[in-house]
A and B are shown apart, each in its own frame.
Chain A
Amino acid sequence: MYSEKVMDHFQNPRNVGEINGASGVGTVGNAKCGDIMRIYLDIDENQVIRDVKFKTFGCGAAVATSSMATEMVKGKSVKEALSVTNKAVMEALDGLPPVKVHCSLLAEEAIHAALWDYAEKNQLKIEGLEKPKSDISESEEEEDY
């Protein structure tokens, strides 16, 4: 069902945990649908993501996409992190089964939510960053069956 990379990231998830006093925290998803993702970002004064941690309640794909997404934004600038799309996360994992595509969207959304929190705390405007929807699962419901 899952690629080797997905299984690897599920079994040995990278960057699990919390960051005390994080620069930005984003939580997205919906327990009703069985997926909640939380991303913590530690961003330095040059707007570089120094550290990133995650916590996820969800299926194997949800854990693996969280793990991969954190790896992909770590050490990147805020601007670069914004360009990490769900497609990129999926490709890095060698693909996901069709019913699990929403998990990768959740990962992208969680990063954006954490960046939005960071921008708000610091009264910054990050170009290309939109206020995240708190629950992306609803828009996915129909095609996800």
Chain B
Amino acid sequence: MEQQLIYLDNAATTKVNPKVLEAMLPYFSEKFGNPSAVYGFASANKQAITEAREHIAEVLGAKTEEIYFTAGGSESDNWALKAAAEAYGSKGKHIITTKIEHHAILHTCEYLESRGFEITYLDVDESGVVDMEQLKEAIRPDTILISVMFANNEIGTIEPIAEIGKLTKEEGILFHTDAVQAFGHVPIKVDEMGIDMLSASGHKLNGPKGIGFLYIRKGVKIRSFVHGGAQERKRRAGTENVPGIIGIGAAAKLCAETMEERSAREKKLRDHLIDRVMKEIPYTRLNGHRVSRLPNNANFSFQFVEGESLLIMLDMAGICASSGSACTSGSLDPSHVLLAIGLPHEIAHGSLRLTLGEDTTLEQIDYVVDKLKEIVEKLRSMSPLYEDFINKGSEVAQAD
């Protein structure tokens, strides 16, 4: 019997939408010219790039020339932080971010610390939301940048970006947001939300890998990240990844058109998933905010169970998922996000992230919950932690 593949790891990456692929294909072997060339065959590609930029700018309510293409989310994050630190370093050496950022932000911050910058890592509450009071208190006269992610990649919690944006405008501090998980999935308007810089990636919205962009508000004086040719208004040199740019443009356009309907559908399926899991699998916790979360994200912790074992067994049932367990990260510590929301280590080790996509069906969700029930039960029957818990429970019962 051929096993159906159920892909519930869309926060890791997504399938390229057939319409996006179709838009990209001509730019490999037909329209392959270098957009910087003078002849019409190639310079038409310049126009195609501009159109892709317009699609993205429209989604964000930004100006076309404020969109800079990069190789992806990590590059955008690196650029935003390092270049802002360099450009505004004479004004101050203090940067504020959170404990639950992606490593592209956290490791860049560590690098900046080694270069003499001081970083404040804000706490989050038990659902992963940044503490606005703590943020206000953290602001100093020498604070030059605040970087808070739009939505968390593990637990899906959406941060109060508009509120933070308003505060940074009042304080005159630059505001960057890593919107890699959010762009194309939830409405984002840079002006209304007071965002000065925004990172996004193509492959999280059914676009291709290896392409992303950084939105830089006009007037923000950050410098070139890659020196060379005059591409991207001299701020990011290198011959354009034309198929990638066409792809992310098409994906952004498609995502904006389908967002309302897609989100409603994903939310319905996700809530069905959450409801069934919480009802049918005991000793389970939902991680992340119940309401203010990405439409396609569910993250659970199953007590007494370890995440990697869970993933292997799900894989054997044809289900692709991910976990914040240490064993899946190559270190001994479980996910920094799960620890930041206050989970004890052993609970964080038993976490499971399921992220839905545009192809996910109700039948798939029901199959996954059925399998999950079996697998968690099997792993618990093998777990000494569960054994101790049950024995302790019966002792308590006897004492009563």
Give residues in A with beta carbon < 8 Å to B. 7, 10-11, 13, 16, 18, 27, 31-38, 55-63, 99-100, 137, 141, 144-145
Q: A16-B382, A31-B385, A34-B349 are in contact. Are A57 and B312 (CB under 8 A)?
A: no
Judge whether B141 is part of the interface by a CB distance below 8 angstroms: no
Give residues in B with beta carbon < 8 Å to A. 304-309, 312, 316, 325-327, 330-332, 334, 345-346, 349, 381-387
Check A18–B309 contact: CB distance below 8 A: no
Measured between beta carbons, the chain A residues less than 8 angstroms from B316 are 11
Check A56–B382 contact: CB distance below 8 A: yes
Check A10–B309 contact: CB distance below 8 A: yes
Check A60–B312 contact: CB distance below 8 A: yes
Most buried by A among B304, B307, B381, B383: B383
Give CA–CA (A27, B388) in the complex, Å: 11
**Chain B minimum-CB-distance residue to A16:** B382
Shortest beta-carbon distance from B100 to chain A in Å: 20
Check B384–A56 contact: CB distance below 8 A: yes
Shortest beta-carbon distance from A117 to chain B in Å: 14
Check A59–B332 contact: CB distance below 8 A: no
- 14 residue pairs of the A-B complex, CB under 8 angstroms, read A7-B312, A16-B382, A31-B346, A32-B346, A33-B345, A36-B384, A57-B383, A57-B384, A59-B308, A59-B325, A60-B312, A99-B330, A100-B327, A145-B331
Check A33–B382 contact: CB distance below 8 A: no
Give CA–CA (A10, B375) in the complex, Å: 13
Shortest beta-carbon distance from A62 to chain B in Å: 8
What 4 additional pairs, Cβ within 8 angstroms, besides A16-B381, A58-B327, A59-B306? Answer: A36-B384, A56-B384, A63-B309, A99-B330
Q: A57-B306, A58-B306, A59-B309 are in contact. Are A36 and B332 (CB under 8 A)?
A: no
Check B387–A33 contact: CB distance below 8 A: no
Check B383–A34 contact: CB distance below 8 A: no
Query: Which single member of A10, A34, A56 contacts B326 (CB below 8 Å)?
Result: A34
Q: A11-B316, A31-B349, A34-B325 are in contact. Are A55 and B330 (CB under 8 A)?
A: no
Check A145–B330 contact: CB distance below 8 A: yes
Measured between beta carbons, the chain B residues less than 8 angstroms from A62 are 306, 309
Check B327–A137 contact: CB distance below 8 A: no
Check B332–A34 contact: CB distance below 8 A: yes
Measured between beta carbons, the chain A residues less than 8 angstroms from B334 are 34
Give CA–CA (A38, B391) in the complex, Å: 15
Measured between beta carbons, the chain B residues less than 8 angstroms from A32 are 345-346
Give CA–CA (A60, B382) in the complex, Å: 12
Check A60–B309 contact: CB distance below 8 A: yes
Check A57–B332 contact: CB distance below 8 A: no
Give CA–CA (A13, B327) in the complex, Å: 19
**Chain B minimum-CB-distance residue to A18:** B387
Measured between beta carbons, the chain B residues less than 8 angstroms from A99 are 330
**Chain B minimum-CB-distance residue to A10:** B312
Give CA–CA (A127, B201) in the complex, Å: 61
Give CA–CA (A11, B316) in the complex, Å: 9
Query: Which single member of A13, A34, A59, A100 contacts B382 (CB below 8 Å)?
Result: A13
Check B384–A34 contact: CB distance below 8 A: no
Give CA–CA (A33, B326) in the complex, Å: 7
Give CA–CA (A7, B308) in the complex, Å: 13
Measured between beta carbons, the chain B residues less than 8 angstroms from A16 are 381-382
Shortest beta-carbon distance from A67 to chain B in Å: 10
Give CA–CA (A100, B327) in the complex, Å: 8
Give CA–CA (A22, B325) in the complex, Å: 32
Most buried by B among A18, A36, A58: A58
Shortest beta-carbon distance from B166 to chain A in Å: 40
Give CA–CA (A10, B308) in the complex, Å: 11
Shortest beta-carbon distance from B51 to chain A in Å: 43
Shortest beta-carbon distance from B312 to chain A in Å: 5
Measured between beta carbons, the chain B residues less than 8 angstroms from A137 are 332
Measured between beta carbons, the chain B residues less than 8 angstroms from A58 are 306, 309, 327
Check B331–A57 contact: CB distance below 8 A: no
Give CA–CA (A54, B86) in the complex, Å: 57
Shortest beta-carbon distance from A134 to chain B in Å: 14
Give CA–CA (A59, B329) in the complex, Å: 12
Shortest beta-carbon distance from A137 to chain B in Å: 7
Shortest beta-carbon distance from A92 to chain B in Å: 20
Give CA–CA (A36, B330) in the complex, Å: 18
Measured between beta carbons, the chain B residues less than 8 angstroms from A13 are 382
**Chain A minimum-CB-distance residue to B383:** A57
Measured between beta carbons, the chain B residues less than 8 angstroms from A7 are 312
**Chain A minimum-CB-distance residue to B349:** A34
Q: A55-B382, A55-B387, A58-B306 are in contact. Are A33 and B325 (CB under 8 A)?
A: no
Measured between beta carbons, the chain A residues less than 8 angstroms from B312 are 7, 10, 60
